[in-house]
Every structure is written in structure tokens, then in C-alpha cells.
Copies of this chain bind each other. A is one copy, B any other.
């Protein structure tokens, strides 16, 4: 049984993938709008985890819609959730079992239970969220034990999360000031440097 895990190279999606790898043949999937080559960060982590990896190119229109939503809202949450939903749908079109790294206390880009069930019904897919039953505290316990990670702010490093191409497009269209206005300066991401598992 193969599961395709939406993967950013960050600690949550990495832990999610490793958890699933006991029961499934795991394949890591990083989405790209071909605006940046930030997917390469995820590829490096995939190599460290020794798991197969591919890049799924998504239509630029999805990113444009997400950018418009973000500009309208003045904050990125709904735009990022929109990208995540579209990414799940694209993978669901061609795979039988899909997964991501959403945690119990995530607000973004967590789908509601009815959205989860609609996705599964519409695309006849199994959608697994292996970390949904874990608190942030418990996940940190596991991360500390099994990974070496680096934490960074969105300004200091470009990771493979959706946020970075969204920022890039908004910067191109509206300038860097708009990006600074909309995206929290102190928002941190993580990237897995080493797996100890």
C-alpha cells in the first residue's frame, strides 16, 4: 500500500511520513508553482529520510487565487488553506491514499471534518492526518528525540512551504511592503537537518 504524503521538509510533515512508513510505502510529494525552486529544500530532507520524493506542479492560477484572497483578507491564513485544499485535491485525483502533517491544534491549513469527508467522498481517496491526535507538546517530544531540526523565520530562509511562493507572487505584484504588511515577521518554520530514526 502506497501513501503520498504532502511534504515541506518541515518537522511535522517529516514526522508524519516516518510514522506512516511502518505500515505504508511512503512517497513524499512537494507542490510547486514553478515560481521558486524552494522544493529543493524538501528534496534534501527526503534524501535524509531515505524516502522517495517527487514534485507536483500546480497551476499558477491556484497561487493567483490564493494571493488575491490574501490581499483581500490582509492575512495569509485563508490563502494558504486554499492552496492546501487544492494540493490535496490534485494528489487525490491520481492517488488512492494521501496524507499530510496537520496537528491537533493547527488552525491553518486544517480542513474541517466535513471538508475532510467531502474530499474523501469526491475523490474516492483515503486521507490520513497521522498527527491529528497529538498535541504540539507531544510532537515536540518526538521531534526532539528523533530529528535534528533548524528553526528559522520566513525572512531569513526560503523553505518549501506554500507560504514562500505566495510571498513571492505578492511581492512581484504588490511590492515587498505589502508582503511585510501581510505576513507576520516572527512566524517560524522548521526544517529537518537529520533523522535519528
A interface with B by C-beta (< 8 Å)? 1, 19, 22-23, 97, 102, 104, 113, 116-117, 120, 126-135, 137-138, 141-142, 145-146
Contacts and interface: CB of A to CB of B under 8 A. Distances in A.
Given A23-B145, A127-B135, A128-B138, 4 more contacts: A19-B22, A104-B113, A104-B132, A130-B134
B138 A134 contact: no
Contacts of A1: 141, 145
Nearest to A142: B23
Nearest to A99: B133
Contacts of A23: 19, 142, 145-146
Copies of this chain, complex-wide, total: 2
A97 B142 CA distance: 12
Given A22-B22, A104-B113, A146-B23, A137 B126 contact: yes
A142 B120 CA distance: 17
Q: Which 7 A-B pairs have the closest CB atoms?
A: A132-B133, A129-B133, A126-B138, A132-B132, A22-B22, A130-B133, A128-B134
Nearest to A145: B1
A132 B129 CA distance: 8
A98 to B, nearest CB: 10
